[in-house]
Amino acid sequence: MPFIDADGLTVHYDLTGPANAPVLLLANSIGTSLHIWDATLPALTQRFRVLRYDMRGHGLTGVSPVGADSGYSMDRLADDAVALLDALGVGRAHVCGLSIGGMMAQRLAVKAPERVDGLILCDTAGLIGPPSIWADRIAAIRANGLASIAEGVMARWFTERFRAERPDLIRGYVAMLSRTPVDGYVGCSMAIRDADLRADNARIAAPTLVVVGSEDLATSPALARELADGIPGARFAILPDAAHIPCVERPAELAALILEFLTNLSAPAEMPERGLYDRGMVVRRTVLGDAHVDRSLARASDFDRDFQEFITKTAWGSIWTRPGLDRRTRSLLTIAMLAALGHDGEFKLHIRATRNTGVTRDEVKEVLLQAAVYAGVPAANHAIALARAVYEEMDAEEAGASAS
């Protein structure tokens, strides 16, 4: 349970991973602690030295009293992160922040660009408002305590399905929220209320990935898209079936996105062959699903094992990971080309993969209508029939899983 003095603030932190690996700083959301990242560590620490910490007024980090000079501003929170890096002797880091942690990360990338190599902004925005929302929340907390808002907060943090499937975790996160120091929560609420980072975000120079859960009610996909549009060259990704805390709800998928993005900051031409394969395997599993990839690897023989490695390194490691197009767009393009070429097996595989890439059925329908014009009506008609059959299978599987 390490603590360190960071410019006068006692900070609780955890630093784990290979000693010589690049540092990845993870910043928590309001009302949580560094433990929201626990389930992402097995994947992230394979490539990075992961530095997690409790934000000012949260977890086991020191609490400043709320007041005129309380230090609860987005600038102060960004300065806290720099002070922590300084105290640990870390010159540069990749920075990943969730919600208020993402707002802090935006501010850090503007104030201290020389400290930020890569930037991942999860379920956040340049402005989370209006101020009246935070005024009402602060009043409710001061009157009745944090436990009084827990039910509504859980509905925003996690999808309905996750809450039903994991009541044990939900109880744990209610406890985490309820035990957050009131001054810490109120102070950080004020920091969010007073922050409008949108204009300054045009100055962010670090390569940036914006990620949002498809079911996020607190910072919606539309709001996250607006954030990405305001940062030069930012990539944008939607995590299906996740709400506001995807590092808890979809940790493997979020970690895969982070690894894909940060690994891609090194040009594929400079990456060793094994690195291309490892990166490709992460993306291949994320798009096609572990079950399909495991079956393919189990069926591989001496005759086609080299091809499996080739396709993982080239298609998945070199092309699907390029920064020019996001994963949803690549998924749509792949579906269109497979429909036009009549590659039925691969087409059905990538229709199934849409549940992992965030492509909707309406979007597939539009792509196939477009294909009818430019690739021919018979090809599109055949593809529509295949897609419909696959969707019916997927619906039946989901109904069976729900019944059991």
Q: Where are the domains of the chain?
A: 3-263, 271-403
Identity (one letter) of the amino acid at 180? T
So what's the pLDDT on residue 76? 95
pTM over 0.85: no
Q: How far apart are CA 331 and CA 397, in angstroms?
A: 22
So what's the pLDDT on residue 26? 99
So what's the pLDDT on residue 69? 63
The H or E element spanning position 320 is none
Give the Cβ contact number of residue 369 at 10 Å.
Answer: 11
Q: How far apart are CA 72 and CA 194, in angstroms?
A: 10
So what's the pLDDT on residue 271? 53
| CA 110-114-116 angle, 5° bins | 70
Do 14 and 51 form a contact (C-beta atoms < 8 A)?
yes
Residue 218 half-sphere exposure toward CB, CA atoms < 13 A: 26
So what's the pLDDT on residue 227? 97
DSSP string, 129-144: --HHHHHHHHHHHHHH
Whose CA is closest to 237, among 147, 123, 345? 123
Q: Running along the chain, 404 residues long, what does each successive block of 10 average in pLDDT? A: 91 95 97 98 95 97 80 93 97 97 97 92 96 93 94 97 96 97 96 95 91 96 96 92 97 94 68 70 86 90 92 89 77 96 96 91 96 96 97 90 70
Taking only the tens place, the pLDDT of each residue in 190-231 is: 999 999 999 999 889 889 999 999 999 999 999 999 999 999
| CA 166-218-45 angle, 5° bins | 60
For 3-263, CATH gives 3.40.50.1820
The H or E element spanning position 4 is strand 3-6
Whose CA is closest to 344, among 377, 375, 386? 386
Let me know if domain 271-403 sits in CATH 3.40.50.620.
Answer: no
